[in-house]
Structure 1
Amino acid sequence: MRATPSTAPAVDAPLAPDADEPDIPTELDIPAPPTWLQRLTAYRQPLTLGFTLLLFVIGLLACWHLLQALDPDALRTAIHEIPGERLGGAFLATAVGFLALAGYEWSACRYAGVRLPLPRLFLGNFCACAVSNAIGLSVLSGGSVRYRLYGREGVSTADIARISLFVSLSLGCALPVLAALAALSDPHDAALALHLPEPLLQAIAALLLAGITAGLFWLSRRRLADSTLPGTIDVMLGKSRLRLPGLRMSLLQLVITAIDVCAAASVLYLLLPEGPPLGAFLLVYLLALAAGVLSHVPGGVGVFEAVLLAAFAGQIGAAPLAAALLLYRLIYIGLPLLLACLLLLANEARQYLPAGRQALRAVAGPAAPVLALLVFLAGIVLLFSGATPSVDVRLEHLSFLIPHRLIDASHLAASLIGVLCLLLAHGLRRRLSAAWALTLGLLLAGALLSLLKGFDWEEALLLSATAALLASFRRAFYRPSRLLEMPFSPVNLVASICVLGAALWLMFFVYQDVPYEHELWWQFAVDGDAPRALRAALASGLLLAGLALLWLLRPTPPSIDRPEEAQLQQAARILLASDQPDGGLALTGDKALLLHPSGDAFLMYAMQGRSLVALFDPIGCAAHRAELIWQFRDLCDLHHARPVFYQVRAENLPYYMDIGLSAIKLGEEARVDLPRFDLESKNKTMKDLRYTLSRGQRDGLAMRIFEPGEAPLELLRPISDAWMQGKQVREKGFSLGRFDPAYLRHFRIAVIEFEGRPVAFANLLETDAHKVASIDLMRMHPEAPKLTMEFLMLSLLLHFKAQGYERFSLGMVPLSGLQPRRGAPLTQRLGALVFQRGEQFYNFQGLRRFKEKFQPDWEPRYMAVPAGLDPLVALADTAALIAGGLTGLVKR
Structure 2
Amino acid sequence: MRDNPSDFNEEAVAANPPITSPRLHWLDLLSKYRQPIGLGVTLLLFAIALIACRHMLIEMDLDALHDSLLSVPLPSLGGAVLATVVGFVILLGYELSASRYANVQLPAKTLVLGGFTAFAIGNAVGLSMLSGGSVRYRLYSRHGLGAIEVARMTLFASLSLGSALPPLAALAMLADLSDASLALHLPVDVLAAIAIAVLLLGTLAAVMLYRRRLPEQTIPHNLLVRIGRRTLRLPSTRLTLMQLVITALDVAAAATVLYLLLPQSPPFAAFLLVYLLALAAGVLSHVPGGVGVFEAILLAAFANELGAAPLAAALLLYRLIYVVLPLLVACLVLLFNEAQRLLPTRQAMRVASGLAAPILALLVFLSGVVLLFSGSTPEIDTRLEYVGFMIPHRLIDASHFVASLVGVLCLLLAQGLRRRLSAAWMLTLGLLVAGAVLSMLKGFDWEEASMLVITACLLAVFRRSFYRPSRLLELPFSGLYLMASVCVVGASIWLLLFAYQDVPYSHQLWWQFTLDADAPRALRSALGSAVLLVIVSLTWLLRTARPVIKLPDAAELAKAAEIVKASAQPDGGLALTGDKAILLHPSGNAFLMYSHRGRSLVALYDPIGPTQQRAELIWQFRDLCDVHHARPVFYQVRAENLPFYMDIGLTAIKLGEEARVDLLRFDIDAKGKEMKDLRYTWNRGGRDGLSLEIHEPGQAPLEELKIISDAWLTGKNVREKGFSLGRFSPEYLQYFRVAIIRFEGKPVAFANLLETSRKDLASLDLMRAHPEAPKLTMEFMMVGLILHYKQNGYGRFSLGMVPLSGLQPRRGAPLTQRLGSMVFRRGEQLYNFQGLRRFKDKFQPDWEPRYMAVPAGLDPLVALADTAALIAGGLTGLVKR
- With normalisation by structure 2, the TM-score equals 0.96
Pick which of 22-31 and 434-443 moved more.
22-31
CA contact (8 A) 1:53 1:498 kept: yes
Pick which of 129-138 and 630-639 moved more.
630-639
- Measured in 2, the distance between the counterparts of 1:718 and 1:664 equals 39
- Which residue in the other structure is 2:173 paired with? 183
Structure 1: state its 5+ residue gaps: 1-21
- Give the AA of the match of 2:232: L
- Measured in 2, the distance between the counterparts of 1:782 and 1:392 equals 93
Please state how far the C-alpha of 1:743 moved relative to its aligned partner: 0.3
Please state how far the C-alpha of 1:230 moved relative to its aligned partner: 3.5
CA contact (8 A) 1:228 1:243 kept: no
1:173 aligns with 2:131: no
- Which residue in the other structure is 1:752 paired with? 741
- Which residue in the other structure is 2:80 paired with? 90
- Measured in 2, the distance between the counterparts of 1:314 and 1:27 equals 64
Pick which of 59-68 and 418-427 moved more.
59-68
- Give the AA of the match of 2:393: H
Among 379, 386, 399, which residue is 1:397 paired with? 386
- Which residue in the other structure is 2:636 paired with? 647
Distance change >3 Å, CA 639–CA 870, structure 1 → 2? farther
- Which residue in the other structure is 2:138 paired with? 148
- Which residue in the other structure is 1:721 paired with? 710
CA contact (8 A) 1:147 1:160 kept: yes
Distance change >3 Å, CA 490–CA 23, structure 1 → 2? closer
1:32 aligns with 2:13: yes
- Which residue in the other structure is 2:295 paired with? 305
- Give the AA of the match of 1:786: K
Q: Secondary structure at the match of 2:652?
A: strand
CA contact (8 A) 1:360 1:476 kept: no
1:669 aligns with 2:663: no
Q: Secondary structure at the match of 1:28?
A: helix
Q: Secondary structure at the match of 2:13?
A: coil
- Which residue in the other structure is 1:519 paired with? 508
Structure 2: state its 5+ residue gaps: 18-23
Q: Secondary structure at the match of 2:266?
A: coil
CA contact (8 A) 1:865 1:874 kept: yes
1:695 aligns with 2:676: no
- Which residue in the other structure is 1:552 paired with? 541
- Measured in 1, the distance between the counterparts of 2:350 and 2:458 equals 15
1:324 aligns with 2:308: no
Pick which of 635-644 and 729-738 moved more.
635-644
Q: Secondary structure at the match of 1:775?
A: strand
Q: Secondary structure at the match of 1:773?
A: strand
Among 112, 118, 121, which residue is 1:131 paired with? 121
CA contact (8 A) 1:574 1:619 kept: yes
- Which residue in the other structure is 2:355 paired with? 366
- Which residue in the other structure is 2:793 paired with? 804
Please state how far the C-alpha of 1:792 moved relative to its aligned partner: 2.0
1:581 aligns with 2:562: no
Q: How is 1:170-569 mapped onto 2 (pairs within 5 angstroms)?
A: 170-357=160-347, 359=349, 361-362=351-352, 365-569=354-558
Please state how far the C-alpha of 1:324 moved relative to its aligned partner: 1.1
Q: Secondary structure at the match of 2:117?
A: helix
Deviations 1:73-102 (A, max 9, x none): 222222222222111111111111001001
- Measured in 2, the distance between the counterparts of 1:50 and 1:391 equals 37
Query: Percent same amino acid among aligned pairs?
Result: 69
CA contact (8 A) 2:5 2:870 kept: no
Higher relative contact order (CA 8 A, sep 6+): 1
CA contact (8 A) 1:23 1:738 kept: no
- Measured in 2, the distance between the counterparts of 1:529 and 1:825 equals 59
Q: Secondary structure at the match of 1:461?
A: helix
- Measured in 2, the distance between the counterparts of 1:677 and 1:227 equals 47
- Give the AA of the match of 1:230: P
Among 99, 122, 131, which residue is 1:109 paired with? 99
Distance change >3 Å, CA 265–CA 27, structure 1 → 2? closer
Pick which of 540-549 and 472-481 moved more.
472-481
- Which residue in the other structure is 2:820 paired with? 831
- Give the AA of the match of 1:28: F
CA contact (8 A) 1:23 1:732 kept: no
Q: Secondary structure at the match of 1:841?
A: coil
CA contact (8 A) 1:23 1:733 kept: no
1:684 aligns with 2:665: no
- Measured in 1, the distance between the counterparts of 2:544 and 2:471 equals 15
Q: How is 1:772-783 mapped onto 2 (pairs within 5 angstroms)?
A: 772-783=761-772
Distance change >3 Å, CA 45–CA 717, structure 1 → 2? same
CA contact (8 A) 1:234 1:243 kept: yes
Q: Secondary structure at the match of 2:349?
A: helix
Please state how far the C-alpha of 1:23 moved relative to its aligned partner: 13
Q: Structure 1 runs of 4+ off > 4 angstroms?
A: 22-27
- Give the AA of the match of 1:864: A
- With normalisation by structure 1, the TM-score equals 0.95
Distance change >3 Å, CA 227–CA 165, structure 1 → 2? same
Pick which of 556-565 and 755-764 moved more.
755-764
Q: Secondary structure at the match of 1:737?
A: coil
- Give the AA of the match of 1:62: A
- Measured in 1, the distance between the counterparts of 2:568 and 2:785 equals 18
Deviations 1:649-680 (A, max 9, x none): 00111111112211110111111222322332
CA contact (8 A) 2:177 2:191 kept: yes
CA contact (8 A) 2:350 2:611 kept: no
- Measured in 2, the distance between the counterparts of 1:82 and 1:360 equals 51
Q: Secondary structure at the match of 1:150?
A: helix
Q: How is 1:838-853 mapped onto 2 (pairs within 5 angstroms)?
A: 838-853=827-842
- Which residue in the other structure is 1:17 paired with? none
CA contact (8 A) 2:351 2:612 kept: no
What is the aligned residue count?
A: 870
- Measured in 2, the distance between the counterparts of 1:752 and 1:460 equals 74
RMSD between superposed Cα atoms in Å: 1.9
- Give the AA of the match of 1:279: A
Please state how far the C-alpha of 1:789 moved relative to its aligned partner: 2.0
Pick which of 373-382 and 510-519 moved more.
510-519
- Measured in 2, the distance between the counterparts of 1:651 and 1:662 equals 14
- Give the AA of the match of 1:519: Q
- Measured in 1, the distance between the counterparts of 2:322 and 2:101 equals 28
